[in-house]
Structure 1
């Protein structure tokens, strides 16, 4: 049994061609099948839609009225299908990403550049925040994915670790005596400490690890950005806990020095978060592929 939509498609084709046989050829159907479909539609609507003559068919007044509406509806459906295909081909659409300032600058920008070069018609919406803020934004549907500091404990999220990072302590010239040999965490916390603010996932990870060793932390400075950590250490206000991979410019130029630890802080990772059980948009899927494929 043909669906009502199929019947209307056949009805429109016959209405345009004014011929059962021509409509059948265009639809790759037999002429009897087309005739049967029109008869079925007329029966369901309880009205005659076509005048049949030896030269062909023509729409009745009622058929002409119906044709206007059905043809418009089918054209709208076709336009919708074409738009869906545009989304699938990534010729239109939007990518909504939540990310912190530091990860955005040091990790995500090259990935965004690659994605934009491949899919220039996709619009970007970037929302900044802390890891916890980004998780809330993700759950509200404001973004498709969030790129965050791990570890994270949230059963509602699907987590894809993408890149390993290392927390280290760095210092300027004033504290170079710390560079003579491996320094214990007990000795580190005796120095003026420069850390991220408490609501930072990075700060929480480092602090929990150090406290697991029975060592308490009392930072001298608590700052809101990774760049400020580097700058405060550069002017010798203390030693800063930073992400090694995001501090290479300072380390390679000898502006700051990595403090050698007798016990290295375990590595962690940066990754992509999405809502568990909720399919990603096609644009988000492609972007995640780029993140996973590219090295830092």
Structure 2
């Protein structure tokens, strides 16, 4: 069955070429098929669109009026298809990523650099927030993908774990004496503790685990960024709960010391998160592939 759009494409081609035979060649159709299409369109519109002469065809007044609109519409559709192809080939578009400040700094930057080098015409929009905030943005469509801390207990999301991370406690010179032996959680909570704010996924994970051992934490400081945890511990304001992988520079340079625990906190994951119900854009798919491949 020939669609109305197909009929208009034939009409537009005949109108430009003023010849059924030339339009047939351009459209890779037979001349009778082109003639039939024009006759069908004229019948449906109840209007004669072309004057037929032995030398070819010409638009009637009604046909000329219709041609202006159809030609514009077909041109817009063609441009739209070209733009879709550009999106598919990653020669244009935007990638919106939701991510926390710490993950941006210690994990995401190399992947952004690699993606940018491969697809320089894709624009980035980076939105920072906690895991809870980013997941909300993901559901509202304000970001395409999220790079965040797991676990996330929401069946609406597809989770792709990228790396394992470990929660640990660190201290400065003032508290170095506690490093002589591993501490229990009961001993740990007697020290001035420095934690991320309550809405942080990392904080909730550690707090829930320690609470499962019958120990409740009561931090002296609750901060909004991982870097502040490190800086507060470095100037001896207390013992900070940090992500070991994101604190390695401080530990390697002797600016902080890792507190040994009798019972280590189980490792968790960090990775990519996106909605199951919404197909990833070509740019998002390529970005996820780069992260997973590396």
TM-score normalised per structure 1: 0.95
- What's the CA shift for 1:181? 3.0
Summarize deviations over 1:185-217 as a string: whole Å, max 9, x none: 222222221111111111111011111111121
1:50 aligned partner: 50
1:187 aligned partner: 187
Give the SS at the match of 2:251: helix
Give the SS at the match of 1:174: helix
For the pair 1:89 / 2:89, whether they are aligned, the reply is yes
1:292 aligned partner: 292
2:140 aligned partner: 140
Once residues 140 and 45 of structure 1 are traced to their aligned partners in structure 2, the CA distance between those partners, rounded to angstroms, is 44
- What's the CA shift for 1:83? 0.9
- What's the CA shift for 1:183? 2.5
Once residues 228 and 18 of structure 1 are traced to their aligned partners in structure 2, the CA distance between those partners, rounded to angstroms, is 74
- What's the CA shift for 1:247? 0.4
Once residues 82 and 277 of structure 2 are traced to their aligned partners in structure 1, the CA distance between those partners, rounded to angstroms, is 27
Once residues 217 and 66 of structure 1 are traced to their aligned partners in structure 2, the CA distance between those partners, rounded to angstroms, is 75
1:267 aligned partner: 267
- What's the CA shift for 1:3? 0.9
1:162 aligned partner: 162
For the pair 1:230 / 2:192, whether they are aligned, the reply is no
- What's the CA shift for 1:184? 2.2
Give the SS at the match of 1:182: coil
1:40 aligned partner: 40
Once residues 62 and 232 of structure 1 are traced to their aligned partners in structure 2, the CA distance between those partners, rounded to angstroms, is 79
- What's the CA shift for 1:278? 1.2
- What's the CA shift for 1:74? 0.6
1:199 aligned partner: 199
Once residues 19 and 204 of structure 1 are traced to their aligned partners in structure 2, the CA distance between those partners, rounded to angstroms, is 73
Once residues 57 and 35 of structure 1 are traced to their aligned partners in structure 2, the CA distance between those partners, rounded to angstroms, is 11
Give the SS at the match of 1:240: strand
- What's the CA shift for 1:172? 1.4
1:76 aligned partner: 76
Deviates more, 1:255-264 or 1:174-183: 174-183
2:19 aligned partner: 19
Structure 2: 5+ residue runs without aligned partners? Answer: none
Once residues 136 and 258 of structure 1 are traced to their aligned partners in structure 2, the CA distance between those partners, rounded to angstroms, is 34
**Cα root mean square deviation, aligned:** 1.4
Runs of 4+ with deviation above 3 angstroms: none
> Where do 1:115-154 residues align within 5 Å?
115-154=115-154
Structure 1: 5+ residue runs without aligned partners? Answer: none
2:4 aligned partner: 4
Once residues 203 and 120 of structure 1 are traced to their aligned partners in structure 2, the CA distance between those partners, rounded to angstroms, is 37
Once residues 94 and 62 of structure 1 are traced to their aligned partners in structure 2, the CA distance between those partners, rounded to angstroms, is 43
TM-score normalised per structure 2: 0.96
Once residues 119 and 273 of structure 1 are traced to their aligned partners in structure 2, the CA distance between those partners, rounded to angstroms, is 22
- What's the CA shift for 1:42? 1.2
1:247 aligned partner: 247
Deviates more, 1:73-82 or 1:115-124: 115-124
